[in-house]
């Protein structure tokens, strides 16, 4: 559905993306995870066409991005950007009318139920919403669009805990056999509840990508100093070590442990073996 291959992006001599590659399958939610400044938002901007990469390619629905018309992309992709910037004088009703005109599959009943559930005043200017309500409103627009792909940058940021749980449930329900999503987030513990795949980005490069279930099958958490007969040490997770191994050692890791170990990286592997 979306294939990203060897993206590179440079800003004023600084290499922000050096090698970003991953694939988003139909029916999947890919979590793009990494520290601040790793290149998550730049990657999303390249995928959505806000930025043009210096090298590499983005393929959407089987077509190279430069050959996908703006009209086609708008109909099939819905985005919650990092900046919750909105049109200054647009009310909630104005936004609903705009999005309904852009997305042929727009479902007004879904939007109406969402508005009622969370108590939005559609006569009010969206600019006046709190940052959390802006995030929730943009999510409501995306879900109501019925777009094939949702691209969401920190979709649960500034939301109350109970609303976060509801949003995660909504996203799981939304993604079926035909639709998919890319979610960029720091909330690793939340991602484990609803993401199906992951791509770990560090210093502008994807260092590991896989389905979350398969990643857990391929790795083990072992105690520091424990003998490892075969397998590759990935990195430290607290006082334990993540190894990539086929043998039945240690315990299966959580998503957060896999991410932390890969971000720890090679510089800590010698320590992990001591």
* Residue ranges covered by each domain of the chain: 2-203, 212-273
Residues 221-234: b if buried by 16+ CB within 10 A, e if exposed: bbeeeeebeebebb
pLDDT (0 to 100) of residue 273: 43
Rounded to whole angstroms, how far apart are CA atoms 101 and 248? 55
Helix, strand and coil in the chain, % to nearest 5: 40, 30, 30
The arrangement of secondary structure in 2-203, i.e. its CATH architecture, is 3-Layer(aba) Sandwich (3.40)
Q: Residue ranges of the chain with pLDDT lower than 50?
A: 267-274
Contacts for 211-214: CB closer than 8 Å, 24+ residues apart: 211/28, 212/31, 212/255
3-state class (DSSP) for residue 140:
helix
Phi, psi of 31 (to 5 degrees): -95, 120
Query: pTM, whole model, 2 decimals?
Result: 0.90
- Per-residue pLDDT at 269: 45
Local structure of 235: helix, strand or coil: strand
- CA distances to 202, 211, 240, 265, 274 from 269, rounded to whole Å, are 17, 24, 12, 7, 9
């Amino acid at each position: 559905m979306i294939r990203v291959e060897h993206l590179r992006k440079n800003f004023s001599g600084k290499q922000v993306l050096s090698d970003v590659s991953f694939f988003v399958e139909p029916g999947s939610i890919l979590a793009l995870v990494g520290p601040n400044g790793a290149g998550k938002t730049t990657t999303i901007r390249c995928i959505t066409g806000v930025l043009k990469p210096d090298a590499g390619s983005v393929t959407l629905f089987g077509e190279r991005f430069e050959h996908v018309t703006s009209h086609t992309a708008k109909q099939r992709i819905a985005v919650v950007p990092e900046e919750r910037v909105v049109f200054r004088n647009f009310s909630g009703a104005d936004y609903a009318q705009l999005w309904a005109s852009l997305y042929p599959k727009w479902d007004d009943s879904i939007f109406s139920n969402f508005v009622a559930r969370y108590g939005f005043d559609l006569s009010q200017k969206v600019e006046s919403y709190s940052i959390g309500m802006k995030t929730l409103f943009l999510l409501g627009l995306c879900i109501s669009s019925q777009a094939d792909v949702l691209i969401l940058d920190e979709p649960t940021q500034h939301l109350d805990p109970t609303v976060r749980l509801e949003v995660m449930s909504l996203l799981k329900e939304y993604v079926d056999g035909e639709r998919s999503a890319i979610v960029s987030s720091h909330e690793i513990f939340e991602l484990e509840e609803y993401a199906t795949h992951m791509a770990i980005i560090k210093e502008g490069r994807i260092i590991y990508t896989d389905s979350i279930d398969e990643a857990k099958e391929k790795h083990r958490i072992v105690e520091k100093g424990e003998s490892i007969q075969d397998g590759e040490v990935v990195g430290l997770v607290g006082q334990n070590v993540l190894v990539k191994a086929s043998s039945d050692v240690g315990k299966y890791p959580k998503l957060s442990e896999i991410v932390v170990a890969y971000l720890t990286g090679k510089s800590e592997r010698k320590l992990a073996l001591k």
